[in-house]
Amino acid sequence: MHLNGRLLTIARDEVTPLDEGEYYTFDIIGLTVFDLDGNELGRVDNILRTGSNDVYQVHSKDGKEVLIPALKSVVKAIDIAQGKMIVDLLEETEDAR
């Protein structure tokens, strides 16, 4: 049987359970992202693999893009059941502008 060019799917209830704090890509994509003040930043629509850490690509309703490093210091909470992620984005410094 040849599987080249075919889509392989697995039922959600058949995937291997992950350790606490680990998530499948399909769990992260689509989450609504909020900052610590409860402001909606947008939805995760892609995950960029950089080698050192993943980066969540978030697009807001007004078309702005925010790149969020998948680091514990930035991503404070992920709630798959609620469909949301809470992040702590660093303030821009005067030199970074």
Residues 87/75, Cβ–Cβ less than 8 Å: yes
DSSP one-letter string for 24-85: -HHHHTT-EEEETT--EEEEEEEEEE-SSSEEEEEE-TTS-EEEEE--TTTEEEEETTTTEE
pTM: 0.81
For 49-68, write each residue's pLDDT tens digit: 998 899 999 999 899 999 99
pLDDT of residue 1: 62
For 15-40, write each residue's pLDDT tens digit: 999 998 899 999 999 999 999 999 99
Between 94 and 90, residue with greater pLDDT:
90
